[in-house]
């Protein structure tokens, strides 16, 4: 079912809308951390939570000095035969990336879009995820952001546009990429639910219809006919108006600055998406 975002009206602070300046809504970092914590076991795709905790404890006991070893990430992946699931070329490339236990911006930029998605999936596939949890490898800033957005929706054109947007981000924007992705997915889910998209600090009638999904979920918008181009072109000026109107009715400076940051990211995302259409 196609949802015409052009029908969405600018949401203003009326009796059906409330502006919430509290940290519970305004400080997206904290709320998103709680959201991930609640959903964490979903990343393990079938792994029992108790068994997962036992595995972590077992590895810490059997390998207490793992963080000190030079080839710790590759050793771990070899021990659980993680590279065996890849084709020969991808296994070779990924081994080279993990050789120094750092996923660099340059290395990720040299990957194809498909390889970026494969690398992100590899990192979060079953027990592979423990390598990141235990600090066996780390990321440079843009590399982490690129991987995190590469599979954030089932629309690969949107995913590619997000990658190109991350490449243009400054440090402050990179620090809030997860918060922006959550905001983006919430806005798209608002459109799906048939209510006007709006920023997260607003409480709007019908909000209970919005179904949220965890950060990495390739099925988020699968099978839904959403005109992403129309959404981006229509919502950005609406968002700008909503934020300015809210500022005149008591929006805190902190949330105002946060939303200005989101608007800038949204504008870059729109431009990058339109280049691919």
Q: How much is the pLDDT for 263?
A: 95
From residue 143, alpha-carbon distances to 86, 93, 167 in Å are: 21, 15, 9
Residue 257 has pLDDT above 80, yes or no: yes
Mean pLDDT of 165-182: 92
Q: Binning pLDDT at 50, 70 and 90, where does residue 36 land?
A: very low
Per-residue pLDDT of 50-98, as tens digits, reads 554 455 445 444 554 455 567 889 999 999 999 999 999 999 999 999 9
252 vs 31: which has the higher pLDDT: 252
Confidence of residue 213 (pLDDT cuts 50, 70, 90): low
pLDDT tens string 175-211: 889 899 989 988 988 888 888 899 988 877 766 667 6
State what percent of residues in the chain have pLDDT above 70.
Answer: 68
Q: What mean pLDDT is predicted for residues 98-103? A: 94
Q: What pLDDT is recorded for position 145? A: 95
Cβ(86)–Cβ(94) under 8 Å?
Answer: yes
> How high is the pLDDT of residue 185?
87
How many distinct structural domains can be found in the chain?
A: 1
pLDDT, residue 188, reads 86
Distance CA 124, CA 49 (A): 15
Q: Which residue in this structure is represented by tokens 């989101």?
A: 262
What proportion of the chain, given as a percentage, has pLDDT over 90? 48
Write down the pLDDT at residue 214. Answer: 44
Q: Give whichever of 14-28, 175-189, 261-275 has the largest mean pLDDT.
A: 261-275
Task: Write the DSSP assignment of 176-245 as a string of letters.
Answer: THHHHHHHHHHHHHHHHHTS----TTEEETTGGG-----SS-TTTTTT----HHHHHHHHHHHHHHHHHH
User: Confidence class of residue 18 from pLDDT cuts 50, 70 and 90?
Assistant: low
| Residue 207 structural domain | 5-276
Residue range 22-46: mean pLDDT, rounded: 41
Stretch 14-42: mean pLDDT, rounded?
44
**Mean pLDDT over each residue of the chain, to the nearest integer:** 77
pLDDT at 81: 95
């Amino acid at each position: 079912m196609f949802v015409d975002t052009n029908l969405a009206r600018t949401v203003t602070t009326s009796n059906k809308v409330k502006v919430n300046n509290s940290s519970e809504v305004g400080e997206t970092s904290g709320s998103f951390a709680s959201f991930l914590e609640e959903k964490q076991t979903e990343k393990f795709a079938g792994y029992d939570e108790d068994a997962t905790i036992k595995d972590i404890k077992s590895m810490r006991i059997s390998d207490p000095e793992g963080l000190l070893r030079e080839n710790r990430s590759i050793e771990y992946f070899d021990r659980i035969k993680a590279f065996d699931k890849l084709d020969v070329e991808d296994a070779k490339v990924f081994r080279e990336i993990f050789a120094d236990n750092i996923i660099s911006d340059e290395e990720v930029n040299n990957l194809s879009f498909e390889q970026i998605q494969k690398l992100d999936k590899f990192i979060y596939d079953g027990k592979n995820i423990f390598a990141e949890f235990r600090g066996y490898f780390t990321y440079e800033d843009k590399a982490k952001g690129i991987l995190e957005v590469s599979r954030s929706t089932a629309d690969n054109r949107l995913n590619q546009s997000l990658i190109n947007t991350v490449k243009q981000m400054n440090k402050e924007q990179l620090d809030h990429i997860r918060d922006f992705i959550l905001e983006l997915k919430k806005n798209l889910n608002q459109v799906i639910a048939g209510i006007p998209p709006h920023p997260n600090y607003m409480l709007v009638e019908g909000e209970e219809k919005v179904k949220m999904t965890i950060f990495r979920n390739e099925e988020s918008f699968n099978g839904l006919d959403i005109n992403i181009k129309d959404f981006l072109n229509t919502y950005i000026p609406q968002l700008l108006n909503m934020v300015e109107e809210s500022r005149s009715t008591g929006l805190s400076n902190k949330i105002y600055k946060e939303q200005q940051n989101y608007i800038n990211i949204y504008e870059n995302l729109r431009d990058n998406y339109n280049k691919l259409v």
